[in-house]
Structure 1
Amino acid sequence: MTTAKLATPTDLKSNDIKDVATGLNRVLADSYALYLKTKNFHWHVSGPHFRDYHLMFDEQAAAILGTTDAIAERVRKTGNTTLRSIGDIARHQTIEDNDAEFVAAADMLKILRDDNLALVETLRGLKDVADDAKDHATSALVDEWIDAAEERAWFLFETAQKG
């Protein structure tokens, strides 16, 4: 087994960019946790709005999964390493898993809304760290991810309204 180290060139300061990579890895872990929770609810939703919720959860899960490669590649572009396994995700995630046997559809909407808003909060913190490190590329990407998570939270909120 070789002990060679990855050495991606970057002009960003290594101490500052390590903080950015740590934040990106947290966002990556939370994205995978939120993806799986959203797919779980997609698979297990039931009730009078089954089709609508089933389709929305699937669309949202695909959008979340669609960000993961860009997050991981940004970590690598800065000369750092990213998550390697399900265990690594579990060690870094802050969004809690949901292993309940049954979750009511209305609760699914609230849980996913709250998780997306928690992801927004994490992303805002990452943006501050990236800005402090003068990592403009990460900062710009984070803006897009914030907008997408806010949109998911908005859709989940509006879907839960009665009237």
Structure 2
Amino acid sequence: MAKAKQPNLRVASDRLNTPTDLDPADTKKIAQGLTVLVSDLFALYIKTKNFHWHMSGPHFRDYHLLLDEQGDQIFGIIDDVAERARKIGGVTLRSLGQAEKLKRVPDNDADYVSPLDMLAELRDDNRNLTANMRELHEVTDEANDVSTTSLLEEWIDQSERRTWFLYEITRDATQGGH
């Protein structure tokens, strides 16, 4: 039986342009930065859920719920980031393969990670995400992309809060932590 020919779903990129008053070169740079951010957010979401699912130990309930809350927050902004790239006439993430190539958040496929190591790793990942968003913020601010700049400020605040919570949990016992 002959396989039915699949329609070409790829549309020429000029058909995806959205009118904007931003400079085309800036738009391209910002959309690329947002696409990398989407990739990072997907990777951080999956890692957060991985650690949420594989949490164990005496603080299981608290850590499990915290990571569920943080994962939901991360997942909740992915669509907004991708749609922002489209709103300014750019394109965004098309596949998991593309996300794998672009992401800066390392995977953790270990069979077992201790609870505090999980939280410390996520703390560092969120801190790095914050730094990367600050770099993109500089680009958007310089391009006078007020909306993306404003959104990044909110996302940076959320990332700083996640980092803060994870930092407080992972403090060394000599600093008043565990």
In the superposition, the TM-score normalised over structure 2's length comes to 0.89
In 1, the alpha carbon distance for the partners of 2:20 and 2:170 equals 45
Give the deviation of 1:159 after TM superposition: 1.5
- CA deviation map 1:41-100 (0-9, x unaligned): 000010110000000000000000000011000000010110011111111101111111
Aligned to 2:32: 22
SS in 2 for 1:116: helix
Give the alignment of 1:54-73 within 5 angstroms.
54-73=64-83
- Unaligned stretches of 5+ residues in structure 2: 1-7, 172-176
Structure 1 unaligned residues grouped into runs of 5+: none
The C-alpha deviation readout for 1:2-54, integer Å capped at 9, x for no partner, is 64431211111110111111111111110000000000000001011000000
Q: Does structure 1 residue 153 correspond to structure 2 residue 169?
A: no
Q: Which of structures 1 and 2 has the bigger CA Rg?
A: 2
**Which residue number in structure 1 is paired with residue 86 of structure 2?**
76
Q: CA deviation at 1:135?
A: 0.5
Counterpart CA distance in 2 for 1:146 and 1:134 is 18
- Verify: 1:129 aligned to 2:119, yes or no: no
Percent identity, please.
Answer: 51
> 1:87 — aligned with what?
97
Letter matched to residue 26 of structure 2: D
Which deviates more from structure 2 when the two are superposed, residues 153-162 or residues 110-119? 153-162
Deviation beyond 4 Å, 4+ runs, structure 1: none
Q: How does 1:3-22 map to 2 (within 5 A)?
A: 3-4=11-12, 5-22=15-32
Q: Does the residue aligned with 2:148 lie in a helix, a strand or coil?
A: helix
Distance of 2:77 and 2:102 partners within structure 1? 17
Secondary structure of the equivalent of 1:139?
helix
The one-letter amino acid of 1:153's match is T
SS in 2 for 1:61: helix
Equivalent residue, structure 2, for 1:117? 127
Aligned Cα root-mean-square deviation (Å): 1.1
Q: Report the Cα distance in structure 1 between the residues aligned to 2:11 and 2:115, rounded to whole angstroms.
A: 49
CA deviation after TM superposition for structure 1 residue 104, in Å: 0.3
Secondary structure of 1:96's aligned partner: coil
Query: How many aligned residue pairs are there?
Result: 163
Question: C-alpha distance in 2, partners of 1:22/1:121?
Answer: 17
Q: Give the structure, 1 or 2, with the largest relative contact order (CA under 8 Å, sep 6 or more).
A: 1
